[in-house]
Structure 1
Amino acid sequence: MFTFLIILMLLVSFLLALVVLAQNPKGGGISSQFGAGGAANLMGVKRTGDLLEKLTWGFAIALMVLSLATHMLGQGSSDAVRSINQQRAQQTRSAAPVQAPVTPPAGSAPAPANPAK
């Protein structure tokens, strides 16, 4: 499921980039150069601009929702290591030898806490 959402996010990101490149605030844009000019003449320039704006908002919202969904799915397996840095930190922590605290011999007197100077 996680992999499917990532692939869907990539597809939505690609489509969002295409829609953003197709529009131009001053008219024209890539849409008139790659054959969408006929669609603009057929539907009217105002309708094409509205459609591109709605598609931009839709893809942007879909991308946000998908990113939140992948975050929520990833929360379930907190013990899984997701990055090489986390893995190395866990290996370093587990490989570090644990040293026992040093205790003075049984017959010696304890050291004073604040020696006088």
Structure 2
Amino acid sequence: MYLTLVILILVVCFLLALVVLAQNPKGGGLSSQFGAGGAANLMGVKRTGDLLEKLTWGFAVGLIVLALATHMLGGGAGPVRSVNQQAAQKTALPAAPAPTTPAAPAPGAPAAQQPTTPAPQPTPAN
């Protein structure tokens, strides 16, 4: 579905570009600089201009709707777009450290001094 919407977006973009290029210039733009302004006004047709303008608005709104649809549809399930995202998904979180227990010293290693508690003193009898 995501790929279908992307292909549909590309088609709408292509059609929008064709419709925009087919429109007659309204003057004041680059067309008047190159001398095409007068010829375009002579050959322009009012109904064709209205249709092309409506098509332009329709394709523009359709493009926005399709773009929002792909965002909503492919929110988290879309393809990974970054090398950093791929690396982050492949790495696992580090394991929690195991609780420490006193271990026996290795053979040949000096024994660690354990704190000793003093032996209880005999109490004098009265």
Under TM normalisation by the shorter chain, which class is it?
0.5 to 0.7
Once the two structures are TM-superposed, the CA of residue 13 in structure 1 deviates from its matched residue by 0.3
For the structure 1 residues 79 and 5, does the alpha-carbon distance in structure 2 shift closer, same or farther, using more than 3 Å as the test?
closer
For the structure 1 residues 79 and 3, does the alpha-carbon distance in structure 2 shift closer, same or farther, using more than 3 Å as the test?
closer
1:3 maps to amino acid: L
1:82 maps to amino acid: V
Whole-angstrom CA distance in 1 between matches of 2:62 and 2:55? 10
1:9 maps to amino acid: I
1:56 maps to amino acid: T
Gapped regions of structure 2 (runs ≥ 5): 32-39, 103-113, 116-126
Task: Tell me how many residue pairs correspond in the alignment.
Answer: 93
Whole-angstrom CA distance in 1 between matches of 2:78 and 2:59? 30
Name the SS of the counterpart of 1:25 in structure 2.
coil
Equivalent in the alignment of 1:46: 46
Whole-angstrom CA distance in 2 between matches of 1:16 and 1:58? 9
Say which structure is richer in helix: 1
Whole-angstrom CA distance in 1 between matches of 2:47 and 2:11? 25
- Contact (CA 8 Å) 1:81, 1:87: kept in 2 or not? no
**4+ residue runs of structure 1 moved beyond 6 angstroms?**
none
After TM superposition, list the pairs within 5 Å mapping 1:14-93 onto structure 2: 14-23=14-23, 24-26=25-27, 45-75=45-75, 78=76, 82-84=80-82, 85-92=84-91
Gapped regions of structure 1 (runs ≥ 5): 30-36, 109-117
2:81 maps to amino acid: S
Whole-angstrom CA distance in 2 between matches of 1:14 and 1:67? 15
Once the two structures are TM-superposed, the CA of residue 91 in structure 1 deviates from its matched residue by 2.3
Equivalent in the alignment of 2:105: none
Whole-angstrom CA distance in 2 between matches of 1:7 and 1:69? 13
Name the SS of the counterpart of 1:21 in structure 2.
helix
Q: How well do the aligned residues superpose, as a CA RMSD in angstroms?
A: 3.3
1:73 maps to amino acid: L
Whole-angstrom CA distance in 1 between matches of 2:70 and 2:61? 14
